[in-house]
Structure 1
Amino acid sequence: MLSGLDLPLLALLMTAGLALDRVLGEPRCWHPLAGFGRCAGFVERRLNRGRLRILRGAGGWMLLVLPPTLAAAWLATSPWAAAMHALLLYFAVGLRSLRDHVLPIGQALAARDLEAARSLTARIVSRDTAGAGETDLAKAAVESTLENGNDAVFGALFWFAVAGGPGALLFRLANTLDAMWGYRSSRFLQFGRVAARADDLLNWIPARLTALSYLLLGDPRCGWRCWRTQAAAWPSPNAGPVMSAGAGALGLALGGSAVYDGIPERRPPLGEGRAAGTEDIDRAWRLVARTAWCWLAAAALAGIAASVFRGGWHA
């Protein structure tokens, strides 16, 4: 592995990082990504002006991403390397955070508290929710769960497998900058181009592994059919496979109309079947959770197999 970790240790540290996430969740007092976001905002305000904005955006990306990643790589060679790898994965992964953000939406809808559901949904999506009904809110929550399963969980796990804790950190920082700068607005079209392309590149393989996992754990035929016929129409090259395969795996019709900044937009269709309902928020979360445990089990089995093979080879 490029991480320098052998497979048994890699599986153990991946388990430790996910266990920390499960038990502790997001840090309550000060989250490193929150501090990183404030730094990103400061850098953007200083650099996103004048000419050569693409180059300025590239410089800002390198200034924000490379130093912490290199520092993490240096710390990962220390006597506390194992603990550092697990902690870096804990900071990079957001499985529990995803659960804590999406399940309350379903609970609010089940309690017929539409205002609370709108407020909770507005925290995780960029579309307008002020006038959204139950179906619109359920659809938004399911779409966000499927997409963020890749962005907040599986991308970090993939790059942890490739490059250990520094790899997971690199992915999460790049993904955060894409979420902040990767818009096709007049403000970010040039400045955020490198951030968007870097995230596309880092996410290309994880997104397709996530899509494959979704369809295998749901309805494989429908998931594959939707991936094959719908993904290319989605604006994001990575969200398309993830969301189309996930929607098909769940047997849901997602995509379609949504309101952004007061302007209705018609987005490409995702999946097929019935419209999303309140109960589907929990179904989407369980699909993400099962995928996480399957990835962890695969890492553990690979580690066991490597140990057995190595022991047999030297016998």
Structure 2
Amino acid sequence: MALVLAMVLDAILGEPKWLWDRFPHLAVLMGRCVSALDKRLNDRTREKGIIAALLLLIGALALGTLLQSLPGIWIEVILGAFLLAQRSLVDHVQAVATALRVSVDDGRSAVAMIVGRDVRDMDEPAIARSAIESAAENLSDGVIAPAFWFAVAGLPGILAYKVINTADSMIGYRTEKYEAFGWAAARLDDVLNWIPARITALLLRAIAPNRPTWAAIRRDAALHRSPNAGWPEAAIAPALGISLSGPRSYEGVMQDFPWVNPEGSKDAGADNIDGAITMLWKAWGIALLVIAVIAAAPFLVWLAGSALAA
């Protein structure tokens, strides 16, 4: 039940600016831990990277276990809401659609807040595709994955997931500095996201107006450079009738990534972003319903038994 309340609280409040203007966000605190380990341990070897990842994992599990032992469920509810990102994800993606309706330059500025690729030369379809890709991927690793690990292992599970996910976003790069040191964090993140990414694809497929086949989703997911990020993209692209991914620039270098759903339209726009946001909420709603039914199952079984006994 704590997870259900946390999901609803996150959907209502999102990221309250008044709170995070006064206190550091949990993700910021996790980032500081990652940075400290990076400075102290990074000798560009896998061995030290493994130690760093294990320290983060053990620390998160220990803190989560301690907090979960406190009486009541409100610590779990509040921290769970802070570690989920449905409302903030929707707000950021919606901002791109709103800006894009004003001008392409405004759209570039808005999408630069949520993607790491070069935005300077993006046209309207590239901006829309970037926003939709970010929506799909972050539904998986910002909402479904933390909810999944909360359901599996409570506060220790969601804290462990979030700290590894944060580490991957900071040191999980294939650069000279992080190729070896960030390897363990990146691989752990892949493992922790394996099931949630596929659950996300199932949820998006279930509510898709143009439902793709699972074979098509699996085919296109394999085109992605990530073992997980391709799954939600491969589910949302055909649902919206558009292509995603494709060529894009990073640090001034154009990279020729394959298209996801290559037969879809390449001419995405603000209306497609709106469609993606609708799908985000519907997928979130189904996930909430499933979690609520699972949470209520013991009570429903007891109720049914009592009725039969009477």
TM-score (norm 1): 0.90
Q: Deviations over 1:167-189 (max 9, x none)?
A: 11211111111111111122211
Residue of structure 2 aligned with 1:280, choices 233, 256, 272: 272
Aligned to 1:44: 38
Deviation at 1:219, TM superposition (A): 4.5
Structure 2 unmatched runs, 5+: none
Deviation at 1:260, TM superposition (A): 0.4
CA distance in 2, matches of 1:138, 1:87: 33
Q: Deviations over 1:127-171 (max 9, x none)?
A: 000111111111100000000000100001111111112211211
The 1:312–1:216 alpha-carbon spacing in structure 2 relative to 1, beyond 3 Å, is closer
Residue of structure 1 aligned with 2:251, choices 229, 254, 261: 261
Structure 1 unmatched runs, 5+: 1-11
- Equivalent AA in structure 2 for residue 42 of structure 1: A
CA distance in 2, matches of 1:251, 1:236: 22
- For the Cα contact (< 8 Å) 2:64–2:157, is it kept in 1? no
Aligned to 1:306: 298
Residue of structure 2 aligned with 1:24, choices 13, 34, 42: 13
Residue of structure 2 aligned with 1:145, choices 128, 131, 135: 135
Deviation at 1:302, TM superposition (A): 2.7
CA distance in 2, matches of 1:137, 1:225: 28
CA distance in 2, matches of 1:223, 1:14: 31
- For the Cα contact (< 8 Å) 2:49–2:185, is it kept in 1? yes
Q: Deviations over 1:8-38 (max 9, x none)?
A: xxxx312211222123322422211112212
CA distance in 2, matches of 1:122, 1:264: 17
CA distance in 1, matches of 2:106, 2:250: 20
Deviation at 1:220, TM superposition (A): 6.1
After superposition, residues 34-183 of structure 1 pair within 5 angstroms as 34-49=28-43, 53-80=45-72, 82-112=73-103, 114-183=104-173
After superposition, residues 176-191 of structure 1 pair within 5 angstroms as 176-191=166-181
- Equivalent AA in structure 2 for residue 109 of structure 1: L
The 1:226–1:255 alpha-carbon spacing in structure 2 relative to 1, beyond 3 Å, is farther
Q: Deviations over 1:200-241 (max 9, x none)?
A: 111111111111111111056425243122111211111122
CA distance in 1, matches of 2:47, 2:82: 29
CA distance in 1, matches of 2:59, 2:297: 36
CA distance in 1, matches of 2:20, 2:106: 22
Identity, % of aligned pairs?
36
- For the Cα contact (< 8 Å) 1:84–1:165, is it kept in 2? no
Deviation at 1:65, TM superposition (A): 3.0
Q: Secondary structure at the match of 2:243?
A: strand
Q: Secondary structure at the match of 1:259?
A: strand
- Equivalent AA in structure 2 for residue 33 of structure 1: A
CA distance in 1, matches of 2:7, 2:297: 21
- After superposing the two structures, state which structure 1 stretch, 216-225 or 274-283, moved more: 216-225
- For the Cα contact (< 8 Å) 1:177–1:195, is it kept in 2? yes
CA distance in 1, matches of 2:173, 2:137: 17
CA distance in 2, matches of 1:226, 1:122: 30
TM-score (norm 2): 0.91
The 1:302–1:232 alpha-carbon spacing in structure 2 relative to 1, beyond 3 Å, is same
CA RMSD of aligned residues (A): 1.7
CA distance in 1, matches of 2:282, 2:296: 21
Deviation at 1:85, TM superposition (A): 1.6
Check if 1:244 corresponds to 2:234. yes
Q: How many residues of Structure 1 are paired with residues of Structure 2 in the alignment?
A: 300
CA distance in 1, matches of 2:276, 2:285: 15
The 1:302–1:35 alpha-carbon spacing in structure 2 relative to 1, beyond 3 Å, is closer
Aligned to 1:6: none
Aligned to 2:27: 33
CA distance in 1, matches of 2:62, 2:39: 25
